[in-house]
Amino acid sequence: MNVTTFGLISIGVAIASFVFAGWLYSWVKKQPSSNVKIAEVGKLIRQGAALFLNKEYKVLARFSAVVALLILLFLPQPIWKGNILENVIMAIAYILGTVFSGIAGKIGIQVATIANVKAAEAAKEGIKPSFMAGFRGGAVMGMAVVGSSLLGVAAVLLATNNTTALLGFSFGASSMALFAKAGGGIFTKTADISADLVGKVELGIPEDDPRNPAVIADNVGDNVGDVAGMGADLFDSNVASMAAALVMASALDKGTNGTTFQSMVFCYAALGLLASIIGVGFARIGKNGSPTKALNNSTYITTGIYIVLTALATLAFGFEWRIWGACVVGLVVGVIIGIATDYFTDDSKKPVHYVAKASNSGPAFTILSGISYGMLSVLPAMIGIAVAALASYKLCEDINPMFGISMAAVGMLSIVGMIISNDAYGPIVDNARGLAEMGDLGDKVLEITDELDSAGNTVKAVTKGFAIAAAGLTVIALLGAFKSEVLTAQAELNLAKFTEESLNFAIIDPLVFFGLLIGAAIPLVFSAMLMLGVDRNAQRMVAEIHRQFKEIVGLKEGKEGVKPEYDKCIEIATTGALKELIPAGLVAIIATLLVGFIGGVRAIGGFLTGNIVSGLLFALFMSNAGGLWDNAKKYVESGHEGGKGSVAHKAAVVGDTVGDPFKDTAGPSINTQITVCSLVASLLSTLFLTMSIF
């Protein structure tokens, strides 16, 4: 069997995942819903999310058109130098990347904004039906994302037989992720912070009070940031890991007159999706079971199924066991990192208790202790990634060591369908909680939705650690892809500028070191710009909320029939998010271009490395500290350290507010930033090779 067969099989599995997603979707739709108030608010949320997506896609379309034009003119080579057809293919692949990711996001949002209503109503019947509605709603997103990424990659490769085009597709996915994840992250935190500042702090009204003009924007935010954004982020990582592996596999296959290595990539990726389908299908919760356990068990089951399936395939098709080993190492390490990360955010463990206790001395101590534990939390993940990289490299040393690392990344991301399902579950049940409150479904229902929500938070921390680690391995693999691209370009141009060894990027090479230092600074600058963007945007929104409370008669008093202008707030959050995002994205891209055109490919090698290392540190630190503060607040609210209204609670709320943009805007967006820089570098490798100053 050759790569075409495996590519077609992959497409088949992808289609199966769509069919499965369709079944899940209709199941969710069939669940009962009767409450008029909930239906009304649910509709507002759905419309708001659609408003954001449409606006975002419009801006993205313009942005992509410009980028596609630039690609057409310059990549992989300036149009007047190279083969025009290649440029056309690249531009089309790029656009396909944005479109495929966009469709998956649209589907995910669509079902998530139905599932939230269903989960809220189902909570009246107990935890089991509510859990299933939330989980299966999230699973639609998981299936859509992984199905469309596998479909896209397989289709592009089979149609073009050109791995560089895959990088174009991957870059399209990255552009989309930049808008969806970073833009969505700014949106969601703008709305969250503004709603809290005016509602909870100034007026003292409850969190999801419908009088608050920002309340719908806040609920929309959960969906656009955590569902669509996270989906686009993992679509991006997943595509990038496959692209990096396929670039190197194709180079390996060239020597062998076969397509074994490319076949393996498809085979393992398709089996990952299959394992996820099975895992999702069998996910269940007991009548009074723990939702956290149910979610985690599905992950472990999927992992087990994947290992067995790939082992059988490796045996059946006579694949190389060492590469299978790299794959499994990646996956197992990913799960371990997830569990280790959980320690720092779990509300039954020491860090959360410590931060809650420190809060008794005031907010400064909430912050200091949270930052300290956030910093400590990077260690297990860094060790895990280091060990996974070293082990997979050593395993595949005689084949192509960087290919080994890329397969570890593919392995780590293999069960991403399951991961996304778990992750999208979170915002759905979070929304369901808000809807239950707005629909006055009573305390018993709120208790259930609270428990489901809390499970969502815990699982989210685990999946975030997983996602960041996977992105880390992927970009390490992209470094290998970059080297591969440079050598190929050099050969095509008949240049002999670099030996293979000189592209191993020696740290003592001053150009590499130069790039390293600058690359390391970029994630900090990028995060800071996003956080300042949230701050500025929140100021605009607060002004709008103030205006509405002042101008709309009877709103503050909650007069019957008086409604705030929810759409104005959504409008502000949307416009502001896109406006604040673009400069941050451009800084990252321009820095890559500057370093590349000044220092050449060796400086880029250093730049990407610095970017990866510092990006991993800050992504882990910010995500974990944010999750820790969130759970410390919830821990205090559940009655510890004085409970609600105590000194500790006030301090914990400050921690949570700081943590919000940490964990939902800046932290996870760094993933996307490093992938974008890596892909820009790979795509421009020919230009950097021929046109740099040094």
The site for a second copy, by CB under 8 A, has a size of 77
CB of 300 to a second copy, least distance (A): 26
Q: Where in 498-517 is the site for a second copy (CB under 8 A)? A: 501, 503-517
CB of 392 to a second copy, least distance (A): 9
The answer to whether 534 touches 661, Cβ cutoff 8 Å, is yes
Q: Helical H runs in 31-83? A: 36-74
Q: Which positions ≥6 away from 516 have C-beta within 8 Å?
A: 507, 606, 607, 609, 610
For 173, other C-beta atoms within 10 Å of its C-beta total 35
560 exposure class (CB count in 10 Å sphere: 0-12, 13-18, 19+): exposed
For a second copy, the closer CB: 455 or 651: 651
CB of 86 to a second copy, least distance (A): 27
For a second copy, the closer CB: 232 or 408: 408
Residue 362 near a second copy by CB under 8 A: yes
Q: Where in 554-593 is the site for a second copy (CB under 8 A)? A: none
CB of 135 to a second copy, least distance (A): 33
For a second copy, the closer CB: 184 or 380: 380
CB of 497 to a second copy, least distance (A): 17
CB of 554 to a second copy, least distance (A): 27
User: What single-letter amino acid sits at 416?
Assistant: V
The answer to whether 276 touches 146, Cβ cutoff 8 Å, is yes
For a second copy, the closer CB: 63 or 365: 365
Pick the piece of the chain touching a second copy (CB under 8 A) from 237-245, 278-286, 367-375, 674-682.
367-375
For a second copy, the closer CB: 91 or 670: 670
For a second copy, the closer CB: 227 or 530: 530
For a second copy, the closer CB: 298 or 665: 665
Pick the piece of the chain touching a second copy (CB under 8 A) from 61-69, 91-99, 305-313, 357-365.
357-365
CB of 402 to a second copy, least distance (A): 7
Residue 368 near a second copy by CB under 8 A: yes
CB of 478 to a second copy, least distance (A): 12
The answer to whether 93 touches 160, Cβ cutoff 8 Å, is yes
For a second copy, the closer CB: 68 or 529: 529
CB of 647 to a second copy, least distance (A): 11
Q: Which positions ≥6 away from 577 have C-beta within 8 Å?
A: 183, 184, 186, 187, 190, 533, 537
Distance CA 51, CA 34 (A): 25
For a second copy, the closer CB: 198 or 239: 198
- Among 597, 609, 583, 594, CA closest to 678: 609
Q: Where in 467-486 is the site for a second copy (CB under 8 A)? A: 476, 479-480, 483
Tokens 């050099």, residue?
Answer: 490
Distance CA 438, CA 486 (A): 57
Among 184, 199, 606, 627, binds a second copy (CB under 8 A): 606
Tokens 């880029």, residue?
Answer: 604
Distance CA 575, CA 577 (A): 6
Distance CA 307, CA 327 (A): 9
For a second copy, the closer CB: 126 or 362: 362
Q: Where in 36-75 is the site for a second copy (CB under 8 A)? A: none
- Among 108, 128, 130, CA closest to 117: 130
Q: Where in 369-408 is the site for a second copy (CB under 8 A)? A: 369, 371-376, 378-379, 382-383, 385-387, 389-390, 393-394, 401-402, 405
- Please state, in angstroms and as integers, the Cα–Cα distance from residue 552 to each residue in 549, 569, 644, following that order: 6, 14, 32
For a second copy, the closer CB: 169 or 514: 514
For a second copy, the closer CB: 309 or 625: 625
CB of 503 to a second copy, least distance (A): 8
Q: Helical H runs in 396-504? A: 401-412, 416-438, 443-492
CB of 233 to a second copy, least distance (A): 21
Q: What is the pattern of x (binds a second copy, CB under 8 A) and - over residues 68-107?
A: ----------------------------------------
Distance CA 630, CA 185 (A): 16
286 exposure class (CB count in 10 Å sphere: 0-12, 13-18, 19+): exposed
Q: Where in 613-642 is the site for a second copy (CB under 8 A)? A: 613-614, 616-617, 621
Pick the piece of the chain touching a second copy (CB under 8 A) from 108-116, 341-349, 576-584, 609-617.
609-617
Among 1, 70, 495, 528, binds a second copy (CB under 8 A): 528
The answer to whether 98 touches 60, Cβ cutoff 8 Å, is yes
User: What single-letter amino acid sits at 218?
Assistant: D
Buried b / exposed e over 489-527, threshold 16 CB at 10 Å, is bbeeeeeeebeeeebebeeebebbbbbbebbbebbeebb
Q: Where in 403-462 is the site for a second copy (CB under 8 A)? A: 405
CB of 367 to a second copy, least distance (A): 5
Sign of CA dihedral 600, 603, 605, 609: negative
Residue 248 near a second copy by CB under 8 A: no
Q: Where in 638-677 is the site for a second copy (CB under 8 A)? A: 653-654, 657-658, 661
CB of 677 to a second copy, least distance (A): 15
Distance CA 26, CA 4 (A): 33
For a second copy, the closer CB: 269 or 475: 475
215: left (phi over 0), alpha (psi -120 to 50) or beta: alpha
For a second copy, the closer CB: 342 or 509: 509
For 20, other C-beta atoms within 10 Å of its C-beta total 21
Buried b / exposed e over 232-245, threshold 16 CB at 10 Å, is bbbbbbbbbbbbbb
Pick the piece of the chain touching a second copy (CB under 8 A) from 159-167, 180-188, 307-315, 608-616.
608-616
Q: Which positions ≥6 away from 592 have C-beta within 8 Å?
A: 604, 607, 677, 680, 681, 684
Q: What is the pattern of x (binds a second copy, CB under 8 A) and - over residues 163-202?
A: ----------------------------------x---x-
For a second copy, the closer CB: 42 or 600: 600
The answer to whether 434 touches 410, Cβ cutoff 8 Å, is no
Q: Where in 132-161 is the site for a second copy (CB under 8 A)? A: none
CB of 331 to a second copy, least distance (A): 19
CB of 619 to a second copy, least distance (A): 13
Q: Which positions ≥6 away from 82 have C-beta within 8 Å?
A: 76
For a second copy, the closer CB: 509 or 637: 509
Pick the piece of the chain touching a second copy (CB under 8 A) from 4-12, 86-94, 256-264, 497-505.
497-505
